[in-house]
Amino acid sequence: MTLTKTDFNFPGQRSVYHGKVRDVYNINDDLLVMVATDRISAFDVILPKGIPGKGQVLNQIAAKFLDATADIVPNWKLATPDPMVTVGLRCEGFPVEMIIRGYLTGSAWREYQKGCRLLCGVPLPDGMRENERFPEPIITPTTKAEEGHDENISREEIIAQGLVSEEDYRVMEQYTRALFARGTEIAASKGLILVDTKYEFGKRDGKVLLMDEIHTPDSSRYFYAEGYEERFAKGEPQRQLSKEFVRQWLIDHGFMGQAGQQVPEMTDEYCQSVADRYIELYEHITGEKFQPATDADLASRIEQSVTAWLQQQ
């Protein structure tokens, strides 16, 4: 039972944006209803099958972390009227994503292996190894592409191109570091390492707000703290909770989102194994048992829940 497509008509609805994973409904140009679907994407490609329970996992983790960081960074969230939905304030989004990395891994490691020592304007020391911790977390922003791949960009280029003002960018940097520090503390208390993550910000009434999701397996990478040092010393892969295992599975089957490449077959068993990993992360990072919603018709439930909430406002 998965929700991979939505077509709602909520009270006051002005428009809808279908993203890679989330469908975002504009209510009276004032609120956003963000539905976390069960779609999964990798290499900026939406994969052909949904993952059971994934939308609920993402939405509930994001909601918890938005609440757990609201004292240090203002955010867009108002309510979660349904396990797969967050409703919040509509902001004017900045066209960049703030990626912060505590460790050299993933795409940054792939670039480093090719000889890259300047990532998004940030110098990288020679002699680093895969999964090694940076002396200080580094911010490596990307452009936020409407279609296709996001591109790496430096702080200087963002300001020079007028994508974000210097003043707003300074606030985004400060918020990014504060959120990563808080996320790192919470992860450590659960036996995890927050390795890297991304944040999106927007502006409303002259104020910079955190938007979208935060610290989910789609936007973040976690390692298990136990055994990290030992595995690193031996040059072994880290045990991790993130979407990287999906990317790795695709790479192993010859798919990296490039023209002419075919997405490998996603069997029901494979989709369930991905679902199990998402639930594992949910339970680790929240310390709570995941309670999957069992409704046969997810779309009807969402429509009723959100409509009822909007009518009470």
Residues in the chain, total: 313
Q: Is 236 found in the same domain as 158?
A: yes
Q: Which phi and psi (to 5°) does residue 137 adopt?
A: -55, 140
- What six digits make up the tokens of 74? 């203002």
- What six digits make up the tokens of 173? 């940097």
Q: Is 216 found in the same domain as 199?
A: yes
10 CB neighbour count, 10 Å cutoff = 20
Domain assignment of residue 7, yes or no: no
Say what the pLDDT of residue 298 is: 95
Domain assignment of residue 257, yes or no: yes
Domain assignment of residue 260, yes or no: yes
Say what the pLDDT of residue 245 is: 86
Domain assignment of residue 8, yes or no: no
- What six digits make up the tokens of 293? 């919603």
Last-in-domain residue among 242, 271, 289: 242
298 CB neighbour count, 10 Å cutoff = 21
Rounded distance between C-alpha atoms, residue 270 and residue 99, angstroms: 29
Q: What is the CATH number of the domain that holds 85?
A: 3.30.200.20
Say what the pLDDT of residue 143 is: 94
Domain assignment of residue 45, yes or no: yes
Last-in-domain residue among 226, 242, 258: 242
Say what the pLDDT of residue 109 is: 96
Its domain, for residue 83, covers 13-91+244-312
Q: For CA atoms 216, 219, 224, 225, give the dihedral sign.
A: negative
> For the residues of 162-174, what is the DSSP string, one character each?
TSS-HHHHHHHHH
Domain count, the chain: 2
Q: Is 194 found in the same domain as 82?
A: no
pLDDT tens digits, one per residue of 210-254:
999 999 988 999 999 999 999 999 999 999 887 888 989 999 999
Say what the pLDDT of residue 148 is: 60
Q: Is 61 found in the same domain as 32?
A: yes
183 CB neighbour count, 10 Å cutoff = 24
Say what the pLDDT of residue 182 is: 98
Asked whether 195 and 134 are in contact (CB, 8 A), the reply is no
Q: Is 159 found in the same domain as 213?
A: yes
Rounded distance between C-alpha atoms, residue 235 and residue 255, angstroms: 25
- Give Cα 309 distance to the centre of its chain: 26
Specify the 3-state DSSP secondary structure of 48: coil
Q: What is the CATH number of the domain that holds 137?
A: 3.30.470.20
Instruction: Name the stretches of the chain with pLDDT < 50.
Output: none
Q: Is 276 found in the same domain as 206?
A: no
**Structure-token match 């329970």, residue found:** 53
- What six digits make up the tokens of 81? 């009227």
- What six digits make up the tokens of 152? 């790496």
Alpha helices in 121-165 (DSSP H): 155-160
- Give the burial class of 300: count Cβ atoms within 10 A of its Cβ; 0-12 exposed, 13-18 middle, 19 or more buried: exposed
Q: Is 231 found in the same domain as 110?
A: yes
Say what the pLDDT of residue 146 is: 65
Last-in-domain residue among 242, 267, 282: 242
Q: Is 234 found in the same domain as 98?
A: yes
Rounded distance between C-alpha atoms, residue 199 and residue 179, angstroms: 9
Q: Is 205 found in the same domain as 110?
A: yes
Domain assignment of residue 4, yes or no: no
Q: For CA atoms 302, 242, 154, 138, give the dihedral sign.
A: positive
Torsion of CA 213, 215, 220, 223, to 10 degrees: -160
0.75 exceeded by pTM? yes
Asked whether 59 and 79 are in contact (CB, 8 A), the reply is no
Q: Is 146 found in the same domain as 74?
A: no
Q: Is 185 found in the same domain as 112?
A: yes
Q: Is 237 found in the same domain as 102?
A: yes
